[in-house]
Amino acid sequence: MAQNPEDLLLRTQTSPVQIRTMLANKPPVRVICPGRTYRRDTTDATHSANFHQIEGLYVDTKSVSLADLKSVLAYFAKEMMGTSVTVRFRPHFFPFTEPSVEVDFSCHVCGGKGCNVCKQSGWIEVAGAGMVDPRVFRHVGWNPDEVSGYAFGFGVERIAMIKYGIPDIRWLYENDLRFLSQLA
Ligand SMILES: [Zn+2]
């Protein structure tokens, strides 16, 4: 029977990949999942109705800790942005992780002093992350007393904008060769 299009929702985040991965596998799992996501956002310099995320999920039978998550994201930050970048974790709420954090990189433009790019804060939000909520494990039939893990989701365009100093996300979708050739 055909589904009513009114009942369908384009995915707003790549997190559904986590559930499919855990339903189809046994722990440990380590996955990186790039994908396109959709939001009912009004397009402007920093928002787009569709963009890309990179989802990461690591679950092991041994105790995985928030310290593991922090070290992986700090390593990624330095590999992607250079060794001078510092990473900040802020407590936050996400439905699928507990505890949850928002992840900021120090602003590459001003080095953390404050500028227009970072709205004078010295920091730029790049990801959401946290420890997988035990209820998520129960829903896929895994015992949260036996497994633990972390998950994170980065905005790909956000990282590119920071790394290459791109002031407007729309430039990434206009297929202007004068712009694209600078990223080759
Ligand atoms: Zn700045």
Domain range summary for the chain, segments of one domain joined by +: 9-178
pLDDT: is 154 or 44 the higher one?
Answer: 154
Q: How far is the CA of 158 from the centre of ligand 1 (A)?
A: 14
Q: How far is the CA of 162 from the centre of ligand 1 (A)?
A: 10
Is the pLDDT reported for residue 62 higher than 90?
no
Q: How far is the CA of 103 from the centre of ligand 1 (A)?
A: 16
Show the CA angle centred on residue 154, arms to residues 151 and 159, nearest 5°.
155
Mean pLDDT score, 37-51: 87
What fold is seen in the domain 9-178?
BirA Bifunctional Protein; domain 2 (3.30.930)
**What six digits make up the tokens of 118?**
């970072």
Mean pLDDT score, 137-156: 95
Mean pLDDT score, 153-177: 89
Q: How far is the CA of 165 from the centre of ligand 1 (A)?
A: 11
Give the pLDDT score at 63.
86
Q: How far apart are CA 115 and CA 109, in angstroms?
A: 8
Give the pLDDT score at 121.
93
Q: How far is the CA of 105 from the centre of ligand 1 (A)?
A: 10
